Amino acid sequence: AQSVTQLDSQVPVFEEAPVELRCNYSSSVSVYLFWYVQYPNQGLQLLLKYLSGSTLVKGINGFEAEFKKSETSFHLTKPSAHMSDAAEYFCAVSGPPGNTGKLIFGQGTTLQVKP
């Protein structure tokens, strides 16, 4: 069975400070990895994804994530936080490739951006 652990339920940062949201996964098969963002009272928006190839993936709004298979991690980073980045962030895993595409989500991390 697959699982996702987001190590922090809340991450407070100051505006313009770097951001790191941590995600670890567990799976016995090859995986696809995703980060979604949920703004208040809105749906889930795809931020970035790792399917194959380069382990450093870039997404929207200046976010990027690095797939580290040896550490089973897929941490989300951004060099400089903006107030508009305040939201809930979900890490998710699916796989193996060719499966139904079902996503398993982590508990979510609330990014709080302080002025």
Partner 1 sequence: EPEVTQTPSHQVTQMGQEVILRCVPISNHLYFYWYRQILGQKVEFLVSFYNNEISEKSEIFDDQFSVERPDGSNFTLKIRSTKLEDSAMYFCASSEVADTIYFGEGSWLTVV
Per rule CB under 8 A, is residue 42 in the interface with partner 1?
Answer: yes
* Contact flag: residue 101 with partner 1 (CB under 8 A): yes
Tell me: does residue 45 bind partner 1 (CB under 8 A). yes
Contacting partner 1 (CB under 8 A), which of 17, 46, 56, 83? 46
Tokens of 33: 């990895």
Instruction: Provide DSSP, 6-47.
Output: -S-SEEEEETTS-EEE--EEE-SS--EEEEEEE-TT--EEEE
Q: How far is the CB of 108 from partner 1 (least distance, A)?
A: 6
For residues 53 to 92, the per-residue mask of contacts with partner 1, x marking binding by CB under 8 A and - elsewhere, is: -------------------------------------x-x
Distance CA 24, CA 72 (A): 6
Q: In 3D, which of 58, 48, 55, 59 has the Cα closest to residue 69?
A: 55
Binding site for partner 1 (CB under 8 A): 32, 34, 36, 42-46, 49, 51, 90, 92, 94, 97-108
